[in-house]
């Protein structure tokens, strides 16, 4: 029953700026939008409800995930659950698969998007509204002068409690935060505290955010499937060398009879400086396994394996990622798409 929700214990850590205690495991929702293959809606809804019953109290979603599908599923799952019993974050700025309409950071668009998210999620307010992947904005000043002031107006109107940033390059988030006259409350980083990339803590990023009174949220400890036995989806931006190192790690885990994804999750959850880490799966069984990881921690054998993975396979290569690759790819493809649309309209539809 709904009364049972949130009753079961999971370790919590403090978001100091927001004065909230959050479960160390957060529920990401990218997989509910079919980003990682087809999903069963009924199971997805039950997965979300079960996560809340088991003590997860923070959910992260976005209009981008399945072009609104993830938000709709989350909204259906939250029906009848007291609003104050969970923290719900979503995003603005990134929308459609069509490359020409993928990003839009204009004030009127983000406000319309926020209203649409409120409707789909079926809630009176969002806890943290986040600017989604601002590295794809052609000019950071658009974020500073349009996007953030619009979100501040939404905050004053009671539609959102807090304003956050998210995106892959840590430097872009830092630049926006330094320039913004609007108070930024949270920073969500993904794939930057993993076995192959610890730049969340090896750079000055955490220190910078703490000095600004900004809470850091973490996501993708399995690096969007890179650190799993299934391997990444075709769209994954990781370069070949990083993939080969992850393959070496996978082989080692298989030789040891353990699951690489579990080792990767345990590695991330061990860091007590990271309040919460979002993981997304539409599978109820997989979600329960993730919760077991969070509740039980690593066994001595698993700790030894994680230690070997980090010190003997990954650490020697430094922080491996794909910064700049997605942005470069985006502008290249957008340039082609716009050229087709403007000069060769009869071919544009074929290529979209």
Catalytic residues: 65
Three-state DSSP at 159 gives coil
CA distance linking residue 150 with residue 110, whole number of Å: 8
- 3-class secondary-structure state, position 59: strand
Nearest CA to 165 out of 237, 221, 89 is that of 89
Asked if 99 and 53 count as a contact pair (C-beta separation under 8 A), the reply is no
* 32 contacts: CB under 8 Å, gap ≥ 6: 39, 44, 48, 61, 65, 66, 69, 70, 73, 74, 280, 282
Q: 């087709």: which residue's tokens?
A: 340
Contacts of 87 (CB under 8 A, 6+ apart): 20, 22, 57, 58, 59, 127, 128
Measuring CA to CA, how many Å separate 181 from each of 132, 177, 184?
18, 8, 9
Q: How many Cβ atoms from other residues are within 10 Å of residue 288's Cβ?
A: 15
For residue 68, how many other CB atoms are within 10 A of its CB? 19
Q: Quick one: angle between helices 107-121 and 69-78, nearest 10?
A: 40
């Amino acid at each position: 029953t709904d009364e049972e929700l949130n009753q079961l214990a999971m370790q919590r850590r403090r978001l100091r700026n927001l004065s909230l205690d959050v479960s160390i495991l957060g529920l990401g929702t990218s997989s509910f939008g079919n980003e990682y293959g087809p999903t069963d809606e009924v199971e997805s809804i039950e997965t979300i409800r079960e996560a809340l019953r088991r003590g997860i109290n923070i959910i992260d979603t976005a209009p981008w995930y399945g072009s609104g599908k993830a938000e709709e599923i989350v909204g259906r799952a939250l029906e009848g659950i007291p609003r104050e019993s969970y923290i719900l974050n979503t995003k603005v700025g990134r929308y459609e698969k069509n490359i020409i309409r993928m990003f839009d950071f204009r004030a009127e668009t983000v406000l319309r998007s926020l209203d649409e998210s409120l409707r789909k999620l079926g809630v009176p307010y969002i806890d943290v509204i986040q600017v989604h992947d601002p590295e794809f904005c052609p000019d950071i000043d658009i974020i500073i002068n349009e996007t953030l002031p619009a979100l501040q107006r939404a905050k004053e109107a009671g539609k959102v409690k807090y304003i956050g940033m998210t995106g892959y390059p840590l430097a872009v988030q830092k630049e926006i935060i330094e320039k913004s006259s609007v108070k930024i409350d949270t920073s969500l980083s993904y794939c930057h505290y993993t076995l192959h990339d610890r730049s969340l803590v090896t750079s000055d990023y955490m220190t910078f955010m703490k000095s600004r009174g900004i809470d850091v949220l973490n996501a993708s400890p399995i690096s969007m499937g890179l650190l799993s036995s299934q391997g990444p989806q075709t769209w994954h931006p990781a370069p070949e060398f990083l993939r080969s190192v992850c393959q070496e790690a996978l082989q080692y885990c298989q030789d040891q009879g353990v699951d690489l994804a579990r080792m990767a999750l345990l590695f991330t959850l061990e860091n007590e400086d990271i309040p919460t880490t979002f993981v997304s799966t539409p599978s109820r069984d997989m979600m329960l396994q993730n919760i077991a990881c969070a509740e039980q921690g690593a066994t001595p054998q698993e700790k030894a394996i994680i230690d070997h993975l980090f010190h003997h396979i990954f650490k020697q290569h430094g922080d491996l990622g794909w910064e700049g690759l997605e942005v470069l790819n985006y502008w290249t493809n957008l340039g082609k798409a716009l050229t087709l649309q403007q000069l060769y309209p009869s071919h544009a539809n074929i290529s979209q």
